[in-house]
Amino acid sequence: MAIRPAEQLIHKAAWLYYAHGLRQDEVASQLNISRASVAMYLRKARETGIVNISTSTQLFTDDVMARRLEDAFDLDAVWIAPENGYLADPSTDIAVLAASVFLELVKKGDRIGVAWGRTVYTIADIMSYADLQDVTVVQLCGNLGAPYSYRPDQCTMEIARRLNAKGLNFYAPLVLSTEGLAQGLRAEPVIRDQLAGIADCNLALYSVGAVDADSHLVKCGALSAAEMETLRRQGAAGVIAGQIIDAGGEVLDCSYNRRVISAELASLRAIEKRLMVVQEDTKFEPLLAAIAGGLCTHLVVGAHMAERLLQHAGAATKKAS
């Protein structure tokens, strides 16, 4: 009787165990299989998202600081991961929180835009599985070459896989060598459609990049460290979906940006829920720029960053009055 145990058995086992509250051995006898098999099915059920175990992220929004941040920056919701944390690595804590928040925000039928970066990939990596229907995950920006393990298309696909959703990849390089070529490529029907479809998303997940030599753009060879430094002097404040933004959160007027194939900021702003996750404390300026540009309605940060943001807001208010 070693036919494909199929979803059927997994479902039944999960149902009896989690919904009816039977013990594993009871489930086993009901289904006429060994308890060990039941245990295995249950693990699969969890891994497939047939059962969903989620913990309320309430605690992290309930924080007074989170409320004050929401008010100060006019954000829809803020989650703050305690930094003094119980965990070795605080940035993991942020990612875990972000993953939970993300899953809480996703609904059936959603269309989700996903950008790229270490943060996003970390989140994808620890995110638990879910069994959403009718969900599409679209890639927000072009691809980058090989050496990185977290390429844009991988981020997209991994998240789509975890959600049991459809992944819509972007088959174009992130950055081209001439502006003309970029322009031509953007006009290509395939690419144009995909770019146009981004504004139809109702949820976006991204982080913001720093303008320094550690940036992915540099590491991937899209820009040299020197070029990056030059851009910084010209007013570059952060990186969003592969594009350089200034302190006001607008696209910086520079050759690089004109050579990039990525979501227009206007499209991003058209997305209802824009979840931004920032792990590194060093990304203070970039985050400010992103917020200023209205690129973020939902925010997940660490306690340390939250404090800095509040201080900044306080200072700005004082100066204004």
Show the tokens assigned to 66.
């989170």
Q: Give CA–CA dist 134/166, Å, rounded.
A: 8
Given 36, 59, 181, 316, the residue binding a copy of itself (CB under 8 A): 59
Show the tokens assigned to 11.
């479902």
319 C-beta neighbours (distance < 10 Å), count: 7
Q: Does 43 bind a copy of itself (CB under 8 A)?
A: no
β-pairing verdict for 273-277 and 203-206: parallel
Q: Does 177 bind a copy of itself (CB under 8 A)?
A: no
Q: Which stretch binds DNA (CB under 7 A): 17-25, 108-116, 205-213, 288-296?
A: 17-25
> Residue 261 corresponds to which amino acid?
I
Q: Which stretch binds DNA (CB under 7 A): 37-45, 107-115, 183-191, 270-278?
A: 37-45
Q: Does 40 bind DNA (CB under 7 A)?
A: yes
Q: Is 158 exposed, middle or buried (0-12, 13-18, 19+ CB in 10 A)?
A: buried
Q: Does 4 bind DNA (CB under 7 A)?
A: yes
Q: Does 25 bind DNA (CB under 7 A)?
A: yes
Footprint on residues 132-151 left by a copy of itself (CB under 8 A):
133
What minimum distance in Å lies between the beta carbon of 3 and DNA?
6
By CB under 7 A, the count of residues binding DNA is: 19
Q: Give CA–CA dist 147/142, Å, rounded.
A: 15
| 211, 217, 218, 224: CA torsion to nearest 10 | -90
DSSP single-letter state for residue 260: B
Q: Give CA–CA dist 214/218, Å, rounded.
A: 7
Residue 180, classed as helix, strand or coil, is helix
Q: Does 3 bind DNA (CB under 7 A)?
A: yes
Q: Does 23 bind DNA (CB under 7 A)?
A: yes
What minimum distance in Å lies between the beta carbon of 37 and DNA?
4
Q: Does 1 bind DNA (CB under 7 A)?
A: yes
Residues that bind a copy of itself (CB under 8 A): 7-8, 11-12, 14-16, 18-20, 30-31, 45, 49-56, 58-59, 86-87, 92-93, 96-97, 100, 131, 133
Residues that bind DNA (CB under 7 A): 1-5, 9, 17, 23-25, 33-37, 39-40, 42-43
